[in-house]
Structure 1
């Protein structure tokens, strides 16, 4: 958050310049740059240098004033046909904008101070007015509407609701997710292998309760075969797969 530090009665270099112009009662459009620059530099020399950030702003303006002063002291070339731009023009524009915003700030401050002295009464509404409800003319509200038309509108709305229903998807049942983890199924197969040295792969799968359990059991068999805990064999193509457990007691 930006912090504005006031130096005596001035909030910045433009505030100081505006003060010097008002003090010397000079026209802002015709600044006596030499005199104003000298006064500005005298103020800079007396400033305390506690805050370098604020001090740097005044020094930048001092350099700007010295630059304008040097350009105005230079003799004009007689060969130049076009009118030379006033070196003070940009500074004058900045001072005018700053003065406008400063006046606006004073105006807002005065309005705030005036508003602090104003008190507003809370709105009060008599009970009979608050409870009043405008009467409803049912005949005018219904108009030419009758039960037959209301029934027709109701059936039309219901038909639109039926048309939105997908005849195929509406018959689908709810699919519930089965939570079967590979690690749990591997423990199940390992326990089975500890008590069965030789068993049928088909019989192991048929003992499972769902398709998901069959798939996860098949993956568990592959994992145990990969780590060498079981051995799988098949004598002929399409024959039942035999599993030999190396963990049986």
Structure 2
């Protein structure tokens, strides 16, 4: 197995695995471990014990796992509290909730890794055209961390909205593909020339829609179809069309 650099300080111990949680997710991604075979109660208990034992929380390292920690606490609470029989059919199974959270986190990690593979000094540059002179700078006042921070901000908003609506039965939303969102962003920009990252979402977007839209933006960045500007980390991002873009977008990677 290729060398894996973990950002987690604690180990999860299962019957078929011992190591940091992000390594577990890496092995799941590589199909070394089936995600549905993970003993959820062990992962939950060990993560909560790790958090409880910390004297000082390293915010930088812990921030990536805030969403998962909230899910684990929610699962623990649901397991302890009695559930009225008439509401059981509306509640998501605790193990399925964590499996879904792990799968979403796996998508986010894969997306970040693909983005970093394209990253260099000026971010997402094309191969130089020797007949065209100097290579153009694609981004202004923008970093990879800034884009991920803006994405994380929206993820936290989704979790907060979900907790507020936990007693309401939601109507299933449409399922979008990365290609759908790529064309949505393209068509919107062709009409408006520019838009903000946060404007890509309605007030009641789902986490799946957020992840899919984020992946679509990464695809457009990778293909040099758009450019972005950002004043600071966690600030909104302005997306505009590149004047030298290739109008033919081509086949879209669905990240799965």
Same fold (TM over 0.5): no
Q: Higher RCO, 1 or 2 (CA under 8 Å, sep at least 6)?
A: 2
> Which is greater in Rg?
1
